[in-house]
Structure 1
Amino acid sequence: MLRVEGLEAAYGDSRILFGIDLQVGKGEVVTLLGRNGMGKTTTIKSIFGLLKPRAGTVQVNGEDLTGAEPHKIAHAGLGLVPEGRQIFPTLNVHENLVATARPGGKWTAPRIYELFPRLEERRRNMGSQLSGGEQQMLAIGRALMTNPRLIVLDEATEGLAPLIRADIWAVLAKLKAEGEAILVIDKNVDALTKFADRHVVIEKGQVVWTGTNTEILATPEVKDRFLHV
Structure 2
Amino acid sequence: MLSVAGLEAAYGSSRVLFGVELAVGAGEALALLGRNGMGKTTTVRAIMGLLRPSAGSVRFEGIELAGLRSFAVARAGLGLVPEGRQVFPNLTVRENLVATARRGRWRLAEVEALFPVLAERRTAWGNELSGGEQQMLAIGRALLTNPKLLILDEATEGLAPRIRGEIWRVLARLKAEGLAILVIDKNVGDLIRLCDRHAILEKGKVAWTGSSAELAAEPALQARYLGV
Measure, in 2, the Cα distance between the counterparts of 1:209 and 1:117. Answer: 39
Aligned residues: 228
TM-aligned CA deviation for residue 205 of structure 1: 0.3
Give CA deviations for 1:145-177 in whole Å, capped at 9, x if unaligned. 000000000000111111111110111001111
Measure, in 2, the Cα distance between the counterparts of 1:124 and 1:82. Answer: 23
- Partner in structure 1 of residue 50 of structure 2: 50
Measure, in 1, the Cα distance between the counterparts of 2:124 and 2:14. Answer: 42
Give runs of aligned pairs for residues 126-141 of structure 1, distance below 5 A.
Answer: 126-141=125-140
RMSD between aligned residues? 0.6
Query: Bigger shift: 92-101 or 213-222?
Result: 213-222
TM-aligned CA deviation for residue 133 of structure 1: 0.2
- Partner in structure 1 of residue 181 of structure 2: 182
- Partner in structure 2 of residue 23 of structure 1: 23
Measure, in 1, the Cα distance between the counterparts of 2:179 and 2:221. Answer: 27
- Partner in structure 2 of residue 199 of structure 1: 198
Q: Structure 2 regions of 5+ residues with no counterpart?
A: none
- Partner in structure 1 of residue 97 of structure 2: 97
Give CA deviations for 1:39-88 in whole Å, capped at 9, x if unaligned. 00000011111111111100011101111110110010000000000111
Measure, in 2, the Cα distance between the counterparts of 1:223 and 1:122. Answer: 39
- Partner in structure 1 of residue 67 of structure 2: 67
Q: Structure 1 regions of 5+ residues with no counterpart?
A: none
Letter in 2 for 1:133: G
Over the matched positions of the two proteins, sequence identity in percent amounts to: 63
Measure, in 1, the Cα distance between the counterparts of 2:99 and 2:14. Answer: 36
TM-aligned CA deviation for residue 190 of structure 1: 0.6
- Partner in structure 2 of residue 228 of structure 1: 227
Following superposition, which runs of at least 4 residues in structure 1 exceed 4 angstroms of deviation? none
- Partner in structure 2 of residue 112 of structure 1: 111
Measure, in 2, the Cα distance between the counterparts of 1:99 and 1:222. Answer: 43
Measure, in 1, the Cα distance between the counterparts of 2:85 and 2:107. Answer: 20
Which secondary structure state, in structure 2, belongs to the residue aligned with residue 170 of structure 1? helix
Measure, in 1, the Cα distance between the counterparts of 2:60 and 2:172. Answer: 23
TM-aligned CA deviation for residue 221 of structure 1: 1.5
Measure, in 2, the Cα distance between the counterparts of 1:118 and 1:2. Answer: 32
Give runs of aligned pairs for residues 144-183 of structure 1, distance below 5 A.
Answer: 144-183=143-182
- Partner in structure 1 of residue 77 of structure 2: 77
Which secondary structure state, in structure 1, belongs to the residue aligned with residue 193 of structure 2? coil
Q: Note if 1:10 corresponds to 2:10.
A: yes
TM-aligned CA deviation for residue 222 of structure 1: 1.6
Letter in 2 for 1:126: W
